[in-house]
Structure 1
């Protein structure tokens, strides 16, 4: 982060900084769901392209200097993510999506409140490492499941991914104070929460329909 940005971030109180985090999160989610329900299915190369854009935008957000550049990259990132999950508009009924959205929002809010009450219980770097390695393991497991046609594996991994991103939500919330004191842009934390929410939502939607 450049020094100018760091100084500007520290000029606001922690409370105001946190409000900016969740304001950006709200904007990102609105954009993602708008794109998801207003674009054609992301099949084949289109889906791969959306994934590549998502990664590049994330990297660009970290590399950009100043709030303006970070904001543009964040919006591109959330829009690309919305496009990559637009299959929900074609394979799931609106009422199912709404139900999963409310369920995810309730879980997400409860986890954030818990982490604000007991931040010391969840801010350990060891927890972040455990979550990261667990997620990496699940990714490889699901790749092998796709290659070898082990469809039943997903009935287990979907639940594990929900638990992992519940853990990430707790961890990201507990780390807010530390990130603020380090002078990080609130957009970074908004992006982390965005990933937590979207991954929770998608897996909860899949689980809820799979149980019917």
Structure 2
């Protein structure tokens, strides 16, 4: 989980917009990110990605993600934040490309539908009970870090992977979607904050999708 500090903002660096325009902007940014990922899956051969040395791929992946986060966290200009958002979307798209290539298209579409439904439910809950999600935010962070450590140890030390890990991560990112959506609607409603909020939600949703796909794939 890449943490964003956009939700700590208490004052607007630009003129505020209506709640409708704010939420529409978030929605359009999310759509753009998913659309770019779809284009990458359709047009990039996964074999060309697997031919890249693993260390080189992950250095580029993390460098792009962290640079993108730096841009949208530090900027109060929507266009700069949008550029930073794309620096996150592209490396995530490469991961998605490699993952979905090993699954049947029907299974991928089912994972997309489930992820969309769960995301909608968690956004509604995040709007209704923002204080609840704030209370569990610390537990979510601790749980995610613990699960990541356990998963890495299992994979690289013992060469195994327990199925409950995927369920745990999926539940954790469900909580993050509700948490981030609730926080997104508590900060000043500006175009820049909308882009930044969309970036945080995008990462939550993609991580949830990847885990749901893995869970479905075991059937």
- Answer yes or no: same fold by TM over 0.5: yes
**Do the aligned residues in 1 keep the contact of 2:22 with 2:191 (CA within 8 Å)?**
no
**Do the aligned residues in 2 keep the contact of 1:108 with 1:169 (CA within 8 Å)?**
yes
Q: Who is 2:120 aligned against? A: 109
Task: Calculate the aligned-residue CA RMSD, in Å.
Answer: 2.2
CA 1:69–1:33 in 2, change beyond 3 Å: closer, same or farther? same
Shift of 1:91: 0.6
CA 1:174–1:74 in 2, change beyond 3 Å: closer, same or farther? same
Q: Distance in 1 between matches of 2:61 and 2:42?
A: 15
Shift of 1:152: 3.4
Q: Who is 1:172 aligned against? A: 180
1:67-86 alignment, distance < 5 Å:
67-86=78-97
Q: Who is 1:143 aligned against? A: 152
Q: Who is 2:195 aligned against? A: 187
Q: Distance in 2 between matches of 1:182 and 1:102?
A: 30
Q: Bigger relative contact order, structure 1 or 2, given CA contacts below 8 A and separation 6+?
A: 2
**Do the aligned residues in 2 keep the contact of 1:166 with 1:200 (CA within 8 Å)?**
yes
Q: Distance in 1 between matches of 2:60 and 2:67?
A: 10
Give deviations 1:6-49, integer Å, cap 9, x for gaps.
Answer: 34242x11232122111111111111232233223333122442
CA 1:129–1:183 in 2, change beyond 3 Å: closer, same or farther? farther
With structure 1 as the length reference, what TM-score do the two structures score?
Answer: 0.86
Q: Distance in 2 between matches of 1:24 and 1:87?
A: 23
Stretch moving more, 177-186 or 96-105: 177-186
Unaligned runs of 5+ in 2: 1-5
How many positions carry a matched residue from both structures? 204
Shift of 1:104: 0.7
Instruction: Choose the corresponding residue for 1:52, options 60, 63, 69.
Output: 63
Unaligned runs of 5+ in 1: none
